[in-house]
Amino acid sequence: MPLLLGHRGSPHEHRENTLAGFQAALDAGLDGIELDVRRLGDGTLAVHHDAALRGGPVLAGLTRAELPTWVPTLPDVLAWAAETGAYLNIELKWEAWAPDDRVARTLGSIRAHGLSRRVLLSSFHPLLLRAARELAPDVERGLLYHRPYRSGPLNLPEVVGRWVDCAALHPHHTLIDRDLLALARRRGWRVNAWTVNEEAEVQRLAALGVEGLIGDVPAHLLTARRGRK
């Protein structure tokens, strides 16, 4: 039975990447949530998808005191997960080519909350995942990608996945087929799909045997468990 995660919480019911949205996803019956981490100017790790507040300032120019109350910090969310038992897929957003201190500080906070075994750290940025591998090999990593990325005979997600020693591939759901699942099985990787918002696609992916589904609508994700025990 696949792991079911709310994409930034339950964004059709609550503002995305908020504690209210995260709790709503859990209350609906999901296993946990997917969230995004960015860095404020004072080093605070904030849970927010975009680089700037909607119609407002860039996050990198703000301090914790200037952050709107609805934007949680990463420690806020980790404390919530430790209390509720929620599983977390934490995405480190691509902010620069070189890894910054978000990697070490995110991993340190995960460990401080005792969540090393209930977190998967994901990113589109291979260098962030490689740095995470060196700093905390016990915290699993997932490689995000949104197109096939082939170069001749090379399957680049496979090459990069091996380089970062990932536990899972996180392709866009449209990229998932039997060949990809076979590749992942050969490498011992799980496959977690994003962002799956149609019931028919939930059923297709569940039948293929993906290990995780990430979506905006909890009710649609929960159909993956229909008739399954």
- Residue 221 and residue 3: Cα distance in Å, rounded? 10
Identify the pLDDT of residue 226.
Answer: 80
- Residue 23 and residue 32: Cα distance in Å, rounded? 9
Identify the pLDDT of residue 228.
Answer: 58
Tokens for 46?
A: 């904030």
Reading the chain (229 residues) residue by residue, the pLDDT tens digits are 999 999 999 999 999 999 999 999 999 999 999 999 999 999 999 999 999 999 889 999 999 999 999 999 999 999 999 999 999 999 999 998 888 899 999 999 999 999 999 999 999 999 999 999 999 999 999 999 999 887 667 799 999 999 999 999 999 999 999 999 999 999 999 999 999 999 999 999 999 999 999 999 999 999 999 855 4
Q: For every residue of 18-54, which 3-state class applies, written as one string?
A: CHHHHHHHHHCCCCEEEEEEEECCCCCEEECCCCECC
Which fold does the domain 3-225 belong to in CATH?
TIM Barrel (3.20.20)
Q: Count of CB atoms within 10 A of residue 97's CB? A: 7
Identify the pLDDT of residue 227.
Answer: 57
Q: What is the DSSP secondary-structure string of 76-100?
A: HHHHHHHHH--EEEEEEP---SS--
Identify the pLDDT of residue 154.
Answer: 77
Percentages of the chain per state (helix, strand, coil), in multiples of 5: 40, 25, 40
